[in-house]
Structure 1
Amino acid sequence: MKIFFPHDSVRPQQSELINDIVKALHEGKTLVANAPTGIGKTASSIAPALSFAIQNNLKVFFLTPKSSQHEIAIQTVKMMNEKFGLKIKAIDLVGKGKMCIHPLVSHVGAGFYEACNSAKKSGKCVFYSNTKGSTKKQKADALKRKSDVLTQYGNSYDKIKNACFVKELCPYEVTIEMIRGANLVICDYFHIFNDEIRQGILGQAGITLGECILIVDEAHNLPKRVRDMLSTTLKAEDLKKAQDEAKTIADEDAMKALDEIILEFSSLVNNIPFGEAEAVLDPDSILPLRLLAKKKLDLLEDAASVFMNKINKENSFLLASAVFLHTLCQQKKHTLHMVERQKNSLRVSIYPLDPSELTADVFKKSASAVLMSGTLTPLDMYADILGIEDFVLKEYTSPFPKENCLNLFVDRTTTKYTERNSAQYDEIASIITMTTAIVPGNSIVFFPSFEILKVIEPRLGIGRKVLIQEKLMSQEKKSRLVSDFKALGRGFGGVLLAVSGGSIAEGVDFPGENLRCAIIVGIPFAKVSFQSKALIDFYEKKFHKGWDYAYNAPAINRAVQAAGRVIRTESDRGVCIFLDKRFSEPMYKKFFPKNFSAITTGSPEELVKKFKF
C-alpha cells in the first residue's frame, strides 16, 4: 500500500509508527501508542490512515480534546494534496456552540443544545431554516444558497463560519452536510463518544462506525473527558427559580411538575448523616427522581422554550433543570450520585465512573482505531479502562538525543501530607531558589496544588522576575502570562510558578529559549474526595488495581506532562527536576515511560551546574 507521507523524509520512529498503524488497519485492530513529543504523531497517523481509507472507501475521524489542535491536521492534508496531486477533502468540525452565529442562542452556556433545538423547532433560527428548509421550494432555495460553501473543504471552521454568516446559513449544519463528501473529519472527542451526537453526525453522512477509522490524539485525556460528558450538578434553588419562570409564562403543568420534582429533590437531604455535609446516594435513593425526570422532561423542555422566546433570553433555569434531568435519564450503570448541603443550599451531582460504557462499543464497531499520546502509560491501563478488546500496545522511543535532557529525582524532600512541615517547605524553597539561579534562562516550577504554591512562594529568594499562575485566570490573562514569561527568556530569564495538571502544564509549548528548566514539586495527586474514592473502589472491583488506575498513574502522568514542556524540538536542551523522594520509589517509578531515565540525587544544584545548556 502506498503511503502519502507529506514530508520529504521519514525518521526511524515515524517509520515504525506508520508500519504499526498500517498493520493495525489491515487487521482491524486498535493500536494504543505511547509516542513521545517529536515523533510527528499527526502526520504519521493521518498519512497511513487516509491512504488506507481512500483505497477502502472509509472515512477517517481525527479526534482531539481541543480545537486549537485542528490546524496542524488541516495543514497535513494540504501538504499531502500538494505533494501527491491528491484531492483529499478535509473538514474542521468543532462544537455546535462554537460554530453558532445566532445572536441569542450563541451566548447560551449550559443548556446550549436544548436552546438550539428550541430555536429550530419554533422557527426562531433563520440560519437553520435557510440551511434546511421545510417545503419543496425552501429546500431548493437552501440548496442554492449553500452550494458554494459546501465545496469549501480544507478550511478551518472560522472560514466556514464566516462564509455561512455572509449567506445567513447555520455553520454547524453545513459542516455536517460536508461530511458525506469528506475523507477526513477533524473533530472533538464528543462528536464520536457522545451517543446522540455521533448518531446524528453519522446518520446524516449515511455511514456507520464500521466505515470509520478513528485517530484519538492526546488520548490520555479521553477517560476524563468521557466522564465529564455525563457529569452535571443542580441546586435546589435553581429548581425554585425554574418554577418562577414557569409562573411567568402561566404554565400550570410545568409548575405542578416542578412541585413534584422539588419535593423529591429536597427529600434526598435525608441521606446525609447528622453532622456531615455530603453523602453518596445509593441507586434506590435516586431512582424516584430519575423516574420522575423521564415523565416530566419533555414538559420542562417545552416550558423552557416558551419562556426564552417570550422573555427573549438566551438561557433559563427551566433549561438548566431540563439539562440535569436529561443527564439523569441518560446515566449509565456505574454512576456516582452525590447530595451536598451547603448552608441553606442543597445540591445533587452526577459523576459517571466507567468511561468504557461509552467507549467500548465505539472501538469495537469502528473499522480500526489509533490512540496516541506522549503520556499514555501504562498502556494496558488505558486499554482496560476504555474497554478496548482487540488491541496492540506499543511504546516508542523519543527521537531527541538523550543527552539533551537531564532528568533528576531529588530524594531529600517531599510534599507527602504526613511529612509536611515548615522545615520541609524551607528545604523545597531552598532547592528551587538555588537551582533557578544556576539555570541560564527561564524556569517553570510546577506545584501539586495552589495551596502548596502559596505556602512555598513567600519562602523563595529568587533574584529574577517571578510570574505566578492564579487559580481563577481568564484565558486572556493566562495567554498574557505565558507571553510575558516567554519574553523573559530572550533576556536574563525569569521564573514562572504554576500548577501541575493545569493548562500551562499541558497545553502550552515552550521551545528553545522559552524554557530551560522545569521543577515538579511533589506528586500531583488528585484531592481525595467521594468521587476519587468511588473511582478507586470501582477500579479495584473491576481490575483489582484501584489505587494504580484511579490515583497513582494519573498523578505521575500529570508530572510527566509538566516536565514535557522543556524538550519540544530536536535542538532543545534543558533540565527536569522531580522534587519529591517518592518519584524514585518503585510503586511510582513504574508509571514513567519505559524509555525514561533519571539520576537520583540529593544535590541537584551540582549536576545542573555541570549540564551544558
Structure 2
Amino acid sequence: MAPRLPQAGGDWPCERGDRCNNPAAPPSPLAALASRGQTGAMEFFPEQARARLSIGELASFSLTGTGGRPGTAGLWRTRLGQQWHEALREPGAAPAGTRFEVAVEGSLHWKDWQIDLQGRIDQLRDEEGRTCIREVKTTLDALPVPDEDLMAAHPGYLAQLGAYLRLWRNAHPESAAPPAGELHFIDASSGISQILRPDPETTAAALDARLDELVAFLDARGAALARLRELPPPAAFPSLRPGQQGVADRLLAAIESHRTVLFQAPTGFGKTGLVLEAALESLRRGLFRRIVYLTGKSTGQLEVARQLAALAGDPPGFRFRQIRNKGEHCINHEFHCFPEVCRFLDGIEQRWTPAAFRSVLNQVSFNPSLEEVREAGRRETVCPYEITRSSLPFQDLLLGDYNYLFAPGSRGVILDTPGFDPGETLLLIDEAHNLPGRAAEALSCALDPRRLNATYHDLAASSAHPRLLHAWEQLLRLIDTLGPTESLAAAAEDDLADLAAEFARTAENHPPERHRLRPPAADDLQEVLRLAKDAGVPSFPRHGWVDTNGVVRLTCLDAADWIREVLQPFAATVLLSATLGPTERFARACGLGETTSIDASAPWKFGAYRTIIDTRADTRYERRRAAVPLTAATLARLAESLGPPVVGFFPSYAYAGLVLEQLSSHHPLHRAVLQPRGADLAGQAAFIEESLVLADILLLVLGSSFSEAVDGLGGRVRAALVAGPSYPEVNAIQRARLELRRGAGRETAFHETYRIPGLIKVNQALGRMVRAPGQEVAIVLHCRRFAEEACRSLLAPDLATDAIAVDDAGFEAWLAATASAQSSITQ
C-alpha cells in the first residue's frame, strides 16, 4: 500500500508506530494474559488518511504520558473499576431510566484525517429533556479534592467524555439542547464519590488536544512508511563467506510464506547479520511495519545494536532502539521508581509535554545511546526511562530482552506502545534454545521468609492498613510452618494461593504506599501477587517445593502453552540459534504448530575441530571425585603438548574447584585459574582477557553466567576439555520434569530432561571456540558417556569424530598427532 505523506505543518519526527490489535476474543486465560496491554483496536490506513480506534484508546493516547504502567497494580485498577461499575447498576444506585453500557460509534474529521471511533457510554439518561452522559472512574487518590485538581490530574477522562459528547451531538443534530456530561469519580478505599460537571469548552479542548497528538503521530507514521520504501536493499556483509550465499534470500522467502521459521546455523556463521538483512528487506517491501528483535543475552543485544547501526547507514535510513530496564536509565543515587521520591518523576506531566519531547529528539542523535538519553533526562528534569518509552512508537525496530514479551509484568513495555500491532510485526528471537527455560523462569516465583518478614516491618513502618498487615502476617505464618521439601503438598500450595489472593483483594481496597517501602519490599509485593489465583496468572504445569533455606518456590515446568499464546498474534516469527537441538523437541517445548526450518552450515568449520572422545574418565556424579586426578593430568598434558592457553569446561563449581586443587598440588608449573562467582559482564570480560595472557589453564562452568564471556575465547585457545556431558543437576525440579514426561517412555523422558539440555550447553560452549575461517582448536570430550550413541548423536556435526581414547596410549597418540598438525599449520 502507498503510504500517505505528512501534511504541511506536521512537526513530529518521521517515525513509525500505530496500535492495531487482534480483535478476536481471547480463547483462554493464557490468551487473556498474553493479550494484556493490547487494550485498543487501532487500525491505520495511510493511503486513505483514515484511522479506526476505540474512544478509550483515543482518550489515553499520549506519547508523553506517564504512570499507569502495566502489571499487577493495573489488574487492581481493572477489578476495582469492574466492581464499582457493577455496584452502580444495582437498583437505586442510579437514577430511574438510566441505561448502561450504551454502544456509540461515529467519525470525526480532523486535519485531513477521518478518525472512526467506537465505544460504550457507562451511563446514559434523560434529565429534564436533555441527554446526560456519565462516565464512571475509580481512583486510588483520597476524595474529595478540588474539582480543578481532579480535572488537571485526568485529562484523558475529559477527552473521553468530550468524544462521547461530540459523537452524540453529531448523531442527533435535531436535538435542541446539547448533551450534558459528568465524570463520576469513586475513591476505591473509602467509596466516597465526587461528581464533576465540566463545561463543554473544557471537554472539547481536552478532546482536541488528543486529536492533535494523534493526527501528528499518524502523519509521521505515514512519512516513516514512505521512508522505509525508499531504502536501498540492505546488505549485512560487504562480501559473503562460504555457506552464506543465498541464505538471506531463503530466509526472506520463508518469512513471506510461513508464520514460524526455525533458523539454525553454527556460531560464527553470521546468523544475526543475515536475519537482519532479510528482516529489513521485508520491512522495505512493506510485508511488515515493524520488527521486534529479542535475545536473552546482554552481549547479544550489544552486537545486534552494532550491526543495526552499520546497516542503518549514514545518514541512518531507519530507527531502532535497544530497550534497557528502568534501573539502567536511573540517574538518582538510589533506584526507587516512584514520583513521591524521584524529582525526575514528580510533576513530570507538566514538564514532559509534546513540545519537550520534540525538543529532546532534536538534540539527540538519530539512534541515541543510553548515556545521551540519561543526559537529556538531567537537562529536562525528566525520567530518562520515560524519554525512552516516549520514543518507542517511532522506532522501526525494537531490540530487547525476552522479558519484554514473555514476562507477564514487563510485556506491556512493548505491547502498550502507542501504535504497536503484533499483527503487522515480524518477531525475531535470537539464542532461541534458551526461550523455553527463560519463559518458564518468568512464570515461576519464590517467597523468601526472611525477606517477607522484612517487608512486613516495612509495611508496618509505612502505616499500612491493619487489614493489609493481617493478610501479610497470615501468609508469613503459613510459610513458617513449611519445612524443606522436594514436593509441596497440594493442600499447602492451595493455601498459599488462597492467602496470596486474600492479600491481593485487601490491597485493592487498602493499597500500600509503595514509595514508602524499600525497593526489595516492593518486589516482594509483586511476587506475592503473582501467587493469587485470581490475579490473572495463567495455568501451567508447575512444581511447588521448599529449599534448604526455607524459600518456597513454585517453578514452572513447561511454558509451551504460554510461548504459543505469546507468539500467536505476530504476523511472523523467526527463531534462530546455533543449537536448537532436535527441532521436533524444540518445537514441542515452544508449543509451535506448523513450522519451516532452514539449516545452514559453515564449510570452514569442518576440520577446524580435532576432537577425541576420552573414555578413560567416568565423570558421573558418584564417580567424579575419583576422576579428578585424571582430569587434572589431562589438562596439564594439553597445556604441555599444545601450549597454553587451555580451557576446561565443568558441570559445576564444585567439580572445577576440586580440579583446581589437584592442579595446584600436583601440576604446580601450570598456572590454573577458576572463574570468579558473581562477576558482572565487565568483570567476566576482564577475567577472560587477563587469564588468556597470564594463565595456562582456565576452568569455566558450563551454563553459568560466564556463558556470554566465553565469546571472548574464539580463536584464542589451543585446546578445550569438556568434563562430562553437563547433564542438569538431579534435583526436585528435574525429577518433576522427568515425571511430567513419563508418558513418552522412560528413555525419552530422560533424553529430553537430561541429555538434550546438557549437550546443548556443550555444543554452545565449543561452538564459540571457532568463530572465523582459519581458526582451529583441539577438543577432548572427557567422559565415557560421550561415546554412547544417544549422547554422541546430539553433538554438533563439526564435532563429529571417530577418535576414541580407551587408554593412555591412545590419548597420547592422538595428542602427538594433534600437536604435529597444529605445528605444521603454524609454520
TM-score when scaled to structure 1?
0.86
User: Matches of residues 206-605 of structure 1 in structure 2 within 5 Å?
Assistant: 206-251=419-464, 252-267=466-481, 269=482, 277-297=484-504, 299=506, 306=513, 308-309=515-516, 314-317=518-521, 319-329=522-532, 331-340=537-546, 342=548, 346-420=550-624, 422=626, 424-460=627-663, 461=667, 463-473=669-679, 477-488=683-694, 494-510=696-712, 514-541=716-743, 545-602=748-805, 603=811, 604-605=814-815
- The alpha carbon displacement at 1:244 in A equals 2.5
Residues 220, 375 of structure 1: 8 Å contact kept: yes
Q: 1:485 to 1:565 in 2, by over 3 A?
A: farther
Q: 1:404 to 1:590 in 2, by over 3 A?
A: closer
1:69-120 per-residue CA deviation (whole Å, 9 max, x = no partner) reads 223323323333338x76111111122222233443x2xxxxxxxx63xx14
C-alpha distance in structure 2 between counterparts of 1:81 and 1:453, whole Å:
44
2:394 equivalent in structure 1 = 181
1:611 equivalent in structure 2 = 821
Q: 1:300 to 1:507 in 2, by over 3 A?
A: farther
1:102-161 per-residue CA deviation (whole Å, 9 max, x = no partner) reads 443x2xxxxxxxx63xx14xx544434565x16xx8635644554436x74323333323
Q: Which amino acid aligns with 2:397?
A: L
1:28 equivalent in structure 2 = 258
1:233-284 per-residue CA deviation (whole Å, 9 max, x = no partner) reads 21334333333233323332222222332344345x2xx6xxxx31423544
User: Matches of residues 74-89 of structure 1 in structure 2 within 5 Å?
Assistant: 74-82=305-313, 87-89=317-319
1:377-431 per-residue CA deviation (whole Å, 9 max, x = no partner) reads 1222211101111311232212424233212211221202354453x33333322
Q: Which amino acid aligns with 1:77?
A: L
Higher helix share: 1
- The alpha carbon displacement at 1:367 in A equals 1.2
C-alpha distance in structure 2 between counterparts of 1:67 and 1:595, whole Å:
27
Residues 54, 183 of structure 1: 8 Å contact kept: no
- The alpha carbon displacement at 1:481 in A equals 2.0
- The alpha carbon displacement at 1:595 in A equals 4.8
Q: 1:263 to 1:78 in 2, by over 3 A?
A: closer
1:284-329 per-residue CA deviation (whole Å, 9 max, x = no partner) reads 43223223323323755998953643xxx64254x24312212213
1:25-73 per-residue CA deviation (whole Å, 9 max, x = no partner) reads 1113222122112211111001110111232242111111123322332
Q: Which amino acid aligns with 1:180?
A: P
Greater relative contact order (Cα < 8 A, sep 6+) = 1
Question: Among 344, 347, 371, which residue is 1:127 paired with?
Answer: 344
SS of 1:127's equivalent? Answer: coil
C-alpha distance in structure 1 between counterparts of 2:769 and 2:525, whole Å:
45
Residues 290, 426 of structure 2: 8 Å contact kept: yes
2:295 equivalent in structure 1 = 64
C-alpha distance in structure 1 between counterparts of 2:745 and 2:361, whole Å:
52
Residues 5, 80 of structure 1: 8 Å contact kept: yes
Q: 1:474 to 1:509 in 2, by over 3 A?
A: closer
Percent identity over paired residues? 20
Q: Which amino acid aligns with 2:513?
A: V
Residues 785, 791 of structure 2: 8 Å contact kept: yes
Q: Which amino acid aligns with 1:499?
A: V
SS of 1:375's equivalent? Answer: coil
C-alpha distance in structure 2 between counterparts of 1:64 and 1:184, whole Å:
14
Q: 1:588 to 1:160 in 2, by over 3 A?
A: same
Residues 442, 513 of structure 1: 8 Å contact kept: no
1:73 equivalent in structure 2 = 304
C-alpha distance in structure 2 between counterparts of 1:552 and 1:14, whole Å:
31
Q: Which amino acid aligns with 1:64?
A: T
SS of 2:452's equivalent? Answer: helix
Q: RMSD value over aligned CA atoms?
A: 2.9
Unaligned runs of 5+ in 2: 1-228, 806-810
Unaligned runs of 5+ in 1: 107-114
Q: 1:515 to 1:211 in 2, by over 3 A?
A: same
C-alpha distance in structure 2 between counterparts of 1:93 and 1:204, whole Å:
12
